[in-house]
A and B are shown apart, each in its own frame.
Chain A
């Protein structure tokens, strides 16, 4: 499946958002996800089925002013 992940097109085998995070080796609880401009809560990632050309955002903490 082709997804746009943090702005870059990638071909992945994952079918849910949880599987995608695992495949991309994201670890820990300090991250937030959105699909096509809508927040997907952490507890909903396992049930969130991905489809072709979904736009995924995966954000983590960083320094800020």
Chain B
């Protein structure tokens, strides 16, 4: 079973809660996905906080563990303060740490990310860093105290799927004991299955489910793909080869003149 910061997790699908057509569809998608972890965020609200409170009460009723994020933060101090405010509201030490470095690509600012991760870890947070597939950055994040890494496989919301399989393979091989969660860039169940077949421990999704024609059905499709990919990784897959190999045994084959 997957263990994240000492918590055992049954489902290897982590689901975002944004961009669904309605709260009812969100709730149904969370249930159908069987996820145990849903990501949430914090924002300014002028309506006396009632909308946010209503939303969070609904998430609590779903019985999932929440993983608050620092989405949209562009610097160390902004991300650290947002994380502290998230801990105050959501009452968890877990934080999905995002420090965005570029508006167009939503690429993480990995230098600020490492610094913020160190500050937050020292303050008792359990940091889930949204990072790239760069191995040295990953090393620095582990040195900063992170016990989980969440590399992108493509920029957020692009649905492009894994763009650099070689880098993802290297990351898995380089950190065999670290829980690795692919966060961002997944568009289709086959993308999720692919990274799970590489040995990644889990997948974090949002737009691919929320933006689907039928988000509830897509949540289930992803859950199945992630399970299939994980099972295939454990079962040991064949490596591709260049020449054909007959699947039917040739011994005993009759020879007709």
Q: Is B156 an interface residue (CB 8 A)?
A: yes
B132 to chain A, nearest CB (A): 17
- Verify B44–A64 contact, CB threshold 8 A: no
Say yes or no for B13: interface residue by CB 8 A criterion: no
Interface 0/1 of A25-65, CB less than 8 Å to B: 11110111110011101100000000000000111111111
B69 touches A30 (CB 8 A): no
Complex CA distance for A38 and B43, rounded to whole angstroms:
16
Q: What residues on A are CB-neighbors of B49 within 8 Å?
A: 26-28, 30-31, 58, 60
Interface check B242, CB cutoff 8 A: no
Query: Which of the residues B26, B50, B71, B86 comes within 8 Å of A32, measured between beta carbons?
Result: B86
Within 8 A of A (CB), among B28-64: 39-46, 48-53, 55-57, 59
The interface size of chain B toward A, counting residues with CB under 8 Å, comes to 39
Tell whether, in the assembled complex, residue A57 and residue B85 are in contact, meaning their CB atoms are under 8 Å apart.
yes
User: How many residues in A have their beta carbons less than 8 Å from beta carbons of B?
Assistant: 26
One of B48, B86, B88 near A25 (C-beta < 8 A): B48
Shortest C-beta distance, A19 to chain B (Å), equals 15
Q: Which of A30, A32, A33, A58 is the most central at the interface, judged by chain B CB atoms within 10 Å of its CB?
A: A30
- A50–B33 Cα distance when bound, in Å, is 46
- B43's closest neighbor in chain A, by CB? A62
A59 in contact with B44 (CB, 8 Å): yes
Contact A27 to B50, CB < 8 A, known contacts A61-B56, A65-B156 = yes
Chain B residue at minimum C-beta to C-beta distance from A40: B88
Residues of B within 8 A of A (CB): 16-20, 26, 39-46, 48-53, 55-57, 59, 68-69, 71, 77, 81-82, 84-86, 88-90, 156, 206-207
Q: Beyond the given A39-B84, A65-B206, could you list 14 further A-B residue pairs with CB under 8 A, ordered by the A residue number?
A: A26-B49, A27-B49, A31-B49, A37-B81, A57-B44, A59-B82, A59-B89, A60-B42, A60-B51, A61-B90, A62-B43, A62-B52, A63-B20, A64-B42
